[in-house]
Amino acid sequence: MSENEIKALVSLLEDTDEEVLSHVEQEIRNLGDDIIPYLENHWETNALDTSIQKKIEDLIHDLQYDTFTSKLIEWKTERQHDLLEGMWLVARYQYPDLEFDTLKMEINQIYFEAWLQLRDEIHPQDAIKILNNIFFDKYKFAANTKNFHSPANSLINQVLETKKGNPISLCVIYLLVAQRLGLPIFGVNLPSLFILTYKSSQIQFYINVFNKGLIFSKKDIGTYLKQMKIEEQDMFYEPCSNLEIVRRSLLNLMVSFKKNSETAKVEEIKFVYDRLLG
């Protein structure tokens, strides 16, 4: 479609004939999110007609949600190795215009600070102490205990901006930096808590990023599971996949929206969550 044809199509949203309107909306959906700038422009020109504005807002949301869904499924199928991309796609549910390069640049900045101090061979636990100093003392990342169920805690762009997050979002940023440094650090999907493990052929220990990078042992995980009255499983001690990390982030979003009584958002996130399971 030419630009003039697209503008003409969008203008038909003002048509009062329900059959015409239904056809127009379907044509717009078929064009995908490339048509959004035209819809936004038409929204601005109809400032006095709230019914048309609402119609356009709903269409834009549907187009953005369709893109959000398809891109996450595409990531699962083709690019699971890129955790940052997966977390970026999750954040685009709330921030559809968020640029990937913006996140990459912020992660790179933290990485560079750490690289300057970790160029020499040092003991793994000493490396973690240096990372902790950069992450918690220099950049001031911290657990968001006051607003634990805020949706922002699950959105990597917001956590990078506010420096506050939940266990999984803080762990993701920490491990993205660590892995870029070549450290064998991975996520561990514990019940009610997400942690990291440093696992090489010589040594394995665990890191609680939500508790300022506290280093602890396998025995401590066993004690935690007993306190929680949860049966031990191998998965509670070993690295999880990037897909599990992204799915758990979506699950946290669902819980946050449910706490805020945002039922429609809960259903939308659940749909994607279930699709990533299959």
The 10s digit of each residue's pLDDT in 150-191 is 999 999 999 999 999 999 999 999 999 999 999 999 999 999
User: 48 and 87: one domain?
Assistant: no
Instruction: Please report, for residues 6, 8, 54, the alpha-carbon distance to residue 12 in angstroms, rounded to integers and kept in the order given.
Output: 10, 7, 15
Show which of 47, 78, 109 is a domain's final residue. 78
Q: Quick one: pLDDT at residue 50?
A: 74
229 and 132 both lie in a single domain: yes
End position of a domain, from candidates 78, 97, 122: 78
Domain boundary residue, one of 78, 111, 140: 78
Residue 124's pLDDT band (boundaries 50, 70, 90)? Answer: very high
Residues 51 and 138 occupy one common structural domain:
no
Determine the pLDDT at residue 1. Answer: 63
Concatenated DSSP letters of 180-211: HTT--EEEEEETTEEEEEEE-SS-EEEEEGGG
How large a percentage of the chain has pLDDT more than 90? 69
Return the minimum-mean-pLDDT range out of 40-54, 58-72, 236-250. Answer: 40-54
Residues 176/107, Cβ–Cβ less than 8 Å: yes
> Domain range for residue 54?
3-78
105 shares a domain with 71: no
Q: What is the pLDDT of residue 278?
A: 66
Q: Which residue has the higher pLDDT, 208 or 32?
A: 208
Show the tokens assigned to 65. Answer: 């949600």
**Which pLDDT belongs to residue 155?**
97
d(C-alpha 101, C-alpha 188), whole Å: 27
122 and 236 part of one domain: yes
Q: Domains in the chain: how many in total?
A: 2
